[in-house]
């Protein structure tokens, strides 16, 4: 899965965490793009795929790395900033970084739209399987009042 490793002197690399694109997070909690541009529950593999396939940015997936504010979700992506020649003056590192983050956010939204349109979204399939597994059966709901799991209180001797 690791396609490109950072080579010394080959441009600037930035770290991109999935939390930067999370619609559920606030700016104070780590989101870096507008809420309108964000998606729900992004994953590092999605960000990596978007960088590689849609945007053609050199990228490196680091599945074991975690963001300090989102340490339950593993994964980050190293993305190489594009080198753009400019006549007046070069873009600052921050301006390039923000432009790259906006481009990734837009591509993530397009990816989600195409997954929803084709119905091949893996998350939707996982949710459907989970929903089927958690539906209680009729056996578990029926029972006599003093059987465990029926919801009735047991009488205790004092």
At residue 115, does pLDDT exceed 70? yes
> What's the pLDDT at 119?
73
Average pLDDT, the chain: 77
At residue 93, does pLDDT exceed 80? no
Percent of the chain beyond pLDDT 90?
A: 40
Q: CB atoms < 10 A from the CB of 118, how many?
A: 8
Q: Which domains does the chain have, with CATH numbers?
A: 13-83+92-131 (3.30.56.30)
Q: CB atoms < 10 A from the CB of 104, how many?
A: 27
Kindly report, residue by residue over 28-57, the tens digit of the pLDDT.
988 899 999 999 999 999 999 999 999 888
What 53-59 contacts at long range (C-beta under 8 Å, 24+ apart), as own/partner pairs, is: 54/107, 54/110, 54/111, 55/103, 55/104, 55/107, 57/82, 57/100, 58/3, 58/4, 59/3, 59/4
């Amino acid at each position: 899965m690791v396609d490109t490793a950072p080579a010394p002197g080959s441009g600037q690399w930035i770290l991109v965490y999935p939390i930067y694109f999370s619609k559920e997070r606030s700016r104070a909690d780590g989101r870096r793009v507008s809420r309108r541009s964000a998606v729900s529950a992004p994953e590092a593999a999605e960000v990596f795929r978007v960088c590689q396939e849609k945007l053609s940015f050199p990228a490196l997936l680091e599945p074991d790395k975690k963001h300090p504010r989102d340490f339950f979700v593993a994964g980050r992506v190293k993305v190489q900033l594009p080198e753009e020649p400019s006549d007046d003056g070069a873009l600052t590192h921050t301006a390039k970084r923000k432009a790259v983050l906006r481009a990734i956010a837009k591509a993530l939204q397009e990816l989600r739209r195409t997954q929803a349109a084709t119905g091949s979204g893996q998350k939707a399939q996982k949710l459907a399987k989970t929903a089927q597994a958690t539906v209680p059966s009729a056996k578990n709901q029926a029972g006599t009042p003093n059987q465990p799991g029926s919801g009735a209180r047991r009488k205790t001797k004092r």
